[in-house]
Amino acid sequence: MKYIGIQTQQRRNNIRSLAMLFLFPCVLLLLTWIFFYILNTYLSGQKYPTDSSSVEEASYMFLQAAPWVVGVTVVWFLVAYFANTAIINASTGAQPLERRDNKRVYNLVENLCITSGMDMPKINIIEDSSLNAFASGLNKRDFTVTLSRGIIDKLDDEELEAVIAHELTHIRNNDVKVLVISIVFVGIFSFLSQILLRTLFSGGIVPYYITLKNLALLNKIWVYIIPSIYNVFNILIFRTFFEGLPESMEESAKIDGANDLRIMWSVILPLSAPVFATLALFTGVTHWNDWFTGEFYVTSNKLHTVQNFLLKVLQENASHDSIDSYRRVADAKNAVKVSPESIRMAVLMTVCLPIMCVYPFLQKYFVKGVLIGAIKG
């Protein structure tokens, strides 16, 4: 086996890190183009596209989205560079370890660093019984050696020193940089794939409940808002509407010197009242009629929706004991009796009246909005 020196290994790892940083946006841009190609092929109804229309349309959409993809990539790189250690610590539950917390571990790391002429990295500990150790960080300020409680308690000084020396070697050879960059890549691809899959396919009540619990959204007002922000159905409606706008208006604005942002604010948005009104009505009705979220994911009565409250009213008045008791009280006070049917009708009016009041203001836009994509020329 050929011997490789430390400087050669460091140089190779630096080249690998730079290559991964360059390939990451390239791969992301390629996946973006493939996504638009598949989406355009699906919307056009071509099972096996034989002309170049799908390619041209996908390329046009890709050029519009490419600056956003590059921007997201840059933001992700900045977050990963400045907060990689904090993200890793948050995901693993690692806590800082000082000399006073564990002199044995601190002295082992310090002695190895003095012997090898390295700067002292940070030391973290994970309160877990498993045997685990890893190094992280992209620069001297962030270099960290993390050990689990299990590996500290179960190994003697010589064995633990060998493990720490192995992790320090990763830092010295810049192996840790390749590791962190790989984690960044896997993280963003996993994040994007989860958004896409969870938007298109539902995993069921139990996985959804676990996801909300892990995101700390249970029994909070955000459980009604965040899961419904990203909706593929709404995006497709917006896209179909924008494609139906006359291209001549956009070209005229460009001739007058308007840029893309100006065209969006001065031309596109004023013409988009039908689609905004339609989706606003769809979204409003969906949230107004939302009983499921409050029933399964919210336990506080203060956060329950109107539908949850009205259901409780119906259930209470559907009970024969409650009804009989209510009637006896009404008779005793010579009050007007309220029948269960009256309660149901009152609930029905409570549910329908707000939508009936809003609909007349959106009616002139609604018909055009719901026909988006339904009429083929």
Closest CA to 160 of 118, 102, 117, 116: 102
Output b/e per residue, 319-332; b: 16+ Cβ within 10 A: eeeebeebeeeeee
Strand order across the beta sheet in which 133-136 lies: 95-96, 122-126, 144-148, 133-136
Joined together, the tokens standing for residue 271 give 């013409």
**Alpha carbon of residue 328 to chain centroid:** 55
Which long-range contacts link 240-245 to residues 24+ away (Cβ below 8 Å)? Answer: 240/43, 240/372, 240/373, 241/272, 241/274, 241/275, 241/369, 241/372, 242/268, 242/272, 244/372, 245/271
Joined together, the tokens standing for residue 246 give 């006359």
d(CA 26, CA 73): 10
d(CA 21, CA 310): 55
| Contact between residue 65 and residue 32 where contact means Cβ atoms under 8 Å apart | yes
Output b/e per residue, 181-214; b: 16+ Cβ within 10 A: bebbbeebeeeeeeeeeeeeeeeeeeeeeeebee
167 in active site: yes
- Give me the phi and psi of 78, to 5 degrees please: -65, -45
Phi-psi region at 94: left, alpha or beta (left = phi > 0; alpha = psi -120 to 50) = beta
- State the catalytic residue, choosing from 167, 250, 251, 316: 167
Active site residues: 167
